[in-house]
Amino acid sequence: MRRIMNEYLLGLKLENKAERTIRTYRWFLERFFSICTVPLSLLTADEVREYLNHFTKGKKERTVDAYLSALSSFLQFCLAEEYIEKIVIKKRWRPKIPQSLPKYLNELEFVRVKIAAENMNLRDRSLILFLLSSGCRSSEVSNLAIRDVNLENRCADVIGKGNRERKVHFSEECAVILSEYLKTRNADGIDPLFLNNSGQRLKSNAIYYITRKIGKKADIPQSLHPHCCRHTFATNMLARGASLELIADELGHVNLNTTRIYARILKEDLVTAYQNKMG
């Protein structure tokens, strides 16, 4: 079982899945199969359901859904590799979760974050500006090399989900601060764009920590994380009149329906503004 699980997790890594996702899937699968003594090829739907009930008792619906996603993804891999003959997870097991709107910074919070970043070192300031003005995922930023970035044209070539390449753009302010940051380093084009304090590539978890730290300094009510920066970029683009197609291209969305959720945000904001003014 351990060998098959490692094959699966390696496949996720080669597909450029987020490190956080891989760690979560590994944690759950290891726990699941530590108590599941039935050979993989002999697992039945009833047995899987019993084990899932054990793990998900008292858990929130989103947690249950995450566990099901991890196990379902693993079993799909096993089916493709002919370790099993059929999928033993039923679609009806998934809890019905209402689609929540992405968390993003409003205008005031956006300004407060930028002001707080002015007191940070050049790396952290250029990092938060890049996240806010490019809409990149933390893993995409982590994987960037200096040669991937064109400061003059304010664009960068990133590798997104599914190893898909795309070009993203960033603000003039970000380009200026990023240039100042790179002047502090004796670096080659193949070197990572952002380094940690040990001179190694800045990983996704460190990017998450830095954004949270800036959010706390800005004293905003919500937790600031890389995906919040991504959602802020998308909502700002939409509010300024950008088309959903353009936003999808910048974010690397394959399905335009994924991008349409930002139109819902704008619509609800307009309704709220109307209600505040009109009562």
Residues above pLDDT 90, as percent of the chain: 45
pLDDT band at 267 (very low <50, low <70, confident <90, very high): low
Angstrom distance (rounded) from CA 36 to CA 236: 47
pLDDT number for residue 273: 43
pLDDT band at 89 (very low <50, low <70, confident <90, very high): confident
What are the tens digits of pLDDT across the range 73-85? Answer: 888 888 888 888 8
**Averaged over 195-207, what is the pLDDT?**
93
Please give the residue that has the higher pLDDT: either 23 or 56.
Answer: 23
pLDDT(179) > 80: yes
Angstrom distance (rounded) from CA 33 to CA 28: 9
Angstrom distance (rounded) from CA 206 to CA 15: 21
pLDDT(277) > 70: no
Q: Comparing C-alpha atoms, which of 211, 203, 254, 262 is closest to residue 232?
A: 262
Least confident stretch, 124-133, 145-154, 158-167, 173-182: 158-167
Residue with tokens 């890594």: 13
**Averaged over 246-263, what is the pLDDT?**
88
Query: What strand order describes the sheet that includes 165-169?
Result: 149-150, 155-159, 165-169
Contacts of 229 (CB under 8 A, 6+ apart): 105, 128, 131, 132, 135, 211
* Count, residues in the chain: 279
pLDDT(259) > 80: yes
pLDDT band at 278 (very low <50, low <70, confident <90, very high): very low
| Mean pLDDT, the chain, whole residue set | 87
Q: Comparing C-alpha atoms, which of 211, 240, 207 is closest to residue 225?
A: 211
pLDDT number for residue 276: 47
**Averaged over 146-162, what is the pLDDT?**
94
Cα–Cα distance list, 181 to 133, 147, 196, 234 (Å)? 17, 15, 13, 26
pLDDT number for residue 247: 92
Q: Are 26 and 9 in contact (CB under 8 A)?
A: yes
Catalytic residues: 137, 161, 227, 230, 253, 262
Angstrom distance (rounded) from CA 71 to CA 87: 10
pLDDT band at 159 (very low <50, low <70, confident <90, very high): very high
pLDDT(268) > 80: no
pLDDT number for residue 274: 36
**Averaged over 14-42, what is the pLDDT?**
83
Angstrom distance (rounded) from CA 146 to CA 156: 9
End-to-end CA distance of the chain: 61
Q: Comparing C-alpha atoms, which of 232, 206, 222, 9 is closest to residue 131?
A: 232
Dihedral sign for Cα 51, 20, 224, 277, please. Answer: negative
